[in-house]
Amino acid sequence: MSELLLAERDGDVAVLTFNDPERRNAMTRAMGEAFGTAVTELARDDSLRCVVLTGAGRAFCAGGDLGMIQDQTDAGRADPGAARRGIRDTMRSFYGLFLSVRAIACPTVAALNGAAVGAGLCVALACDMRIASEVAKLGLNFTRLGLHPGMGATWTLPRLVGPAHAAELLYTGRTLTGAEAARIGLVNRAVPAAEVLPAAQELAREIAAAAPLANRGVKRALARSAGVTLDDQLDFEADVQAETFASEDAREGLAAARGRRAPKFSGH
């Protein structure tokens, strides 16, 4: 594992940590490649029940590395027509490295221990849930840098906070606190800074205690729901529910309910 990304495992919960605190965990291609490699390994692990993503030091992630952004700006200004395709392809592949977090089959939780800005916030938005420090600075500041938003910002944000809030945040590029972000649904909840990672880990353990096959199905269902009709979603639900009816987990869940005890799901 690269020094730029730390990976820890506690039973069936994994924690990934962006680890470049001196540069506020700014996103470089090297960090992205390390992240993509780690995510590929986690995506293959059927025993995993939840993943927590956080940042080392005082920031979650300060966004794209300014040196990388400057290089793209210089290339674009030097030869606007010829450079456009190369810049587009470079940025598109860069997005894919970090947004690979969406390929993890189990639920994911972003623990926003500090500032999450620009593309850094976009990675958190690509996770299923977010816990933020009450005082963390969160913002999609692309337009304040003269840039169009990237990293899926215009796709994820309206789905989380609605079109009106999304428009305001993207047009202005303004910064919110974690507490403000919780009020508009950008994060699930905001807590004191020292409690962010513990709260995210507690949420991960709560998720891990539920049936993993069912939760993986829920994740797939939520991911597809915005683009299909109700009838299509009902067909999907019936199909996946039929799969879980035949599982050992369903048998255990019913036995635990009858016995008035906590279930012990195997993931089978």
Domain containing residue 79: 5-208
Q: What is the pLDDT of residues 32-59, one digit of tens each?
A: 999 999 999 999 999 999 999 999 999 9
CATH number at residue 232: 1.10.12
Judged against a pLDDT cut of 90, whether residue 13 lies above it is answered with yes
Residue 82 has pLDDT above 80, yes or no: no
Question: Which of 208, 224, 249 is the C-terminal boundary of a domain?
Answer: 208
Could you list the beta-strand ranges (E) of 136-221: 137-139, 175-177, 189-191
239 and 174 in one domain? no
Does 167 score more than 60 pLDDT?
A: yes
Instruction: Report the C-alpha gap between 210 and 227 in whole angstroms.
Output: 27
pLDDT higher than 90, residue 249 = yes
Q: What is the mean pLDDT of residues 196-217?
A: 97
Q: How many structural domains does the chain have?
A: 2
pLDDT at 81: 75
Global pTM? 0.94
The per-residue pLDDT for 22 is: 95
Residue type, 9: R
121 lies in the same domain as 245 = no
The tokens 């916030």 sit on which residue?
Answer: 121
Q: Are 60 and 25 in contact (CB under 8 A)?
A: yes
CA distance 186 to 176: 10
Does 86 share its domain with 51? yes
Same domain, 199 and 226: no
Tell me whether strands 129-133 and 189-191 are parallel, antiparallel or unpaired: parallel
Residues 227, 151 share a domain? no
Whether 12 and 132 map to the same domain: the answer is yes
- 69-79 pLDDT tens trace: 888 888 888 87
Same domain, residue pair 25 and 120: yes
Which pLDDT score is estimated for 87? 84
Task: Answer yes or no: do 145 and 162 share one domain.
Answer: yes
In a shared domain, residues 122 and 152? yes
Same domain, 86 and 165: yes
Of 225, 207, 203, the closest CA to residue 216 belongs to: 207
CA distance 187 to 180: 9
Domain boundary among 191, 208, 225: 208
Confidence tier at 1 by pLDDT (50, 70, 90)? low
Q: Say if residue 176 is in the same domain as residue 237.
A: no
Banded model confidence at residue 67, pLDDT cuts 50, 70, 90: confident
- 125 is a domain residue: yes
- 197 shares a domain with 174: yes
